[in-house]
Amino acid sequence: MKKLLICLFAVAAVFQGLTVLAAGDNVNETIGSVVSLEGDKIGVVGEAITDGGLTEVVVRVGGAPIFDLRTGLPITLQDIVPEMGVRAAYEKSEGVANAVAIWVNWDFDDAAVFTVLASENIHYGADGVVFLSADGKYRVVLNQETQILDYNHNPLTPADIAPGMEFFVWVDILTASCPALVYPDKVVQIY
């Protein structure tokens, strides 16, 4: 029952547009599958999830971080294989798409992972921080037991959380309240 509830909330989150990032006007995103690998370039075919995103794009990775969403850990370009589910964030400049961040295993079903953008409604306390997501659907509680990492996997503390930061959130339990109360095991800043 617990896993079913988690899956239902995760699916609802994805379909209700929680995956849209607010990193800047020139950052675009595509979710899909890896169709080609050549040097430091990844070909992705899928769905544009930002207004300027492309349904087919070749992204130059360069030094952009690459993460595996199953583990939340960084991986290398050599770990990526064709047909792998991928989410690519990139900036288009003079006909080239340069990666901002790459997330692989986007299509896995093993845990509830979704994104949340911190709103202005943040409350800091001795035991951690509580913030309302920008869309008002989640009240996220981060405490000393929560693993909090920036996009380079450097540790953060609850006091480092600020409005506008966006995170991938790994959870075991979501409440059915409105907004849903979320106690993540791990959060990783997107970029």
Sketch out the chain's domains with CATH numbers.
Answer: 2-104 (2.40.50.320), 112-189 (2.40.50.140)
Dihedral (CA of 15, 115, 66, 164) sign: positive
pLDDT-derived band of residue 4, with 50, 70 and 90 as boundaries? Answer: very low
What's the mean per-residue pLDDT of the chain?
A: 79
- Give the tens place of pLDDT for each residue, 109-166: 544 667 787 888 899 988 889 998 888 888 899 988 899 988 778 899 888 999 988 8
What's the confidence (pLDDT) of residue 25?
A: 57
Residue whose token pair is 């600020």: 162
33 pLDDT more than 70:
yes
Q: Name the more confident of 2 and 130.
A: 130
pTM of structure? 0.63
Task: Please name which of 105, 86, 73 lies closest in space to residue 37, comparing C-alpha atoms.
Answer: 86
DSSP string, 52-102: T--SEEEEE-TT--EEETTTTEE--GGG--TT-EEEEEEEEETTEEEEEEE
Dihedral (CA of 154, 175, 115, 105) sign: positive
How many CA atoms within 13 Å lie on the side-chain side of 82? 4
With H, G, I as helix, E, B as strand and everything else as coil, classify residue 113.
strand
With H, G, I as helix, E, B as strand and everything else as coil, classify residue 119.
strand
